[in-house]
Amino acid sequence: MKRTLFHWPLDPGSREVRLVLGEKRLAFVAAQLDFPADQGKLQQMNPSARPPVLREEEPGETRIICESLAIIAYLEETKTTHSLLPDTAMQRAEVRRLQSWFAEKFQSEVLGLILYERIEKPMLGLGSPDAAAMREGKRNLRQHLGYLQSLIAARNWLAGDMLSLADLAAMASLSCLDYFGDVPFEEFPIFKNWYVRLKSRPSFRPLLDDSFPGIAPAPQYSDLDF
């Protein structure tokens, strides 16, 4: 089987799927999209024109799966080795609650402010980053980090005793901010230890090579012992 993931390097959903594929030891080709040049190509595969898109090709059959949560559910259901969901219904509910937290609450309160100002506004020619919006996003980030640290302090991993989709959802979002040096790790030492554990896993190493045109990553981004 040939498996190709069409992705954008600083899209949290794309990063989450890459981490899931890595943790499941599934070989794939990472096809990086160029925006806005590849927008039409992406829309041909996904009507919403949003990354990521997973394409699986076998003799006589090609499967296209769109949107990060749908891709992750598909992989968890069809590639059952190295499961990233715990055994009980209550534990799985907690994992999905935290997935939703990052897809909705963290996105709207943190990423939607910081990444929009840092990346989308310049790409769209909408002017310089708004300092007030950046401050609000960073203030919200500290509140989220305090909550995450309280969870990690009481558990081995974010949602319980095992590495799960919740950890990968968190890592996908937070690593986008780490790229710009926007995460105040020293204020949250328990959270930092959790982050270092994940950053050191083989599934994360390809993400350390990501780059965004015109913006170099912060010095600590590729440092596994920062």
On the question of pLDDT at 170 being above 80, the answer is: yes
CA angle 158, 18, 193 (to 5 degrees): 35
Q: Which whole number is the average pLDDT over 95-117?
A: 96
What's residue 221's pLDDT? 94
Cα separation, 78 vs 54, whole angstroms: 14
Cα separation, 81 vs 89, whole angstroms: 19
On the question of pLDDT at 92 being above 90, the answer is: yes
Per-residue pLDDT band for 56 (boundaries 50, 70, 90) equals very high
Cα separation, 93 vs 9, whole angstroms: 29
**HEC profile of 66-117:** ECHHHHHHHHHHHCCCCCCCCCCHHHHHHHHHHHHHHHHHHHHHHHHHHHHH
Per-residue pLDDT band for 224 (boundaries 50, 70, 90) equals confident
3-state secondary structure of 202: helix
**In 3D, which of 103, 106, 105, 84 has the Cα closest to residue 95?**
84
Question: How long a stretch of residues is the chain?
Answer: 226
On the question of pLDDT at 124 being above 90, the answer is: no
By the 8 A CB rule, do 51 and 13 touch? yes
- Could you state, in order of their start, the residue ranges of all structural domains in the chain? 2-78, 89-209
What's residue 125's pLDDT? 76
On the question of pLDDT at 42 being above 90, the answer is: no
Q: Which two tokens stand for residue 18?
A: 């890459």
Count of helix runs (H) and strand runs (E) in the chain: 9, 4
**In 3D, which of 191, 134, 137 has the Cα closest to residue 167?**
191
- pLDDT tens readout for residues 197-210: 999 999 999 999 99
Q: Count the helix, strand and coil residues of the chain and give each as a percent rounded to the nearest 5.
A: 55, 10, 35
Q: Which two tokens stand for residue 225?
A: 């012992």
Cα separation, 170 vs 195, whole angstroms: 9
On the question of pLDDT at 94 being above 90, the answer is: yes
Whether the full predicted model's pTM is greater than 0.85, yes or no, is yes
Per-residue pLDDT band for 35 (boundaries 50, 70, 90) equals confident
What's residue 68's pLDDT? 97
For domain 2-78, the CATH architecture is 3-Layer(aba) Sandwich (3.40)
For domain 89-209, the CATH architecture is Up-down Bundle (1.20)
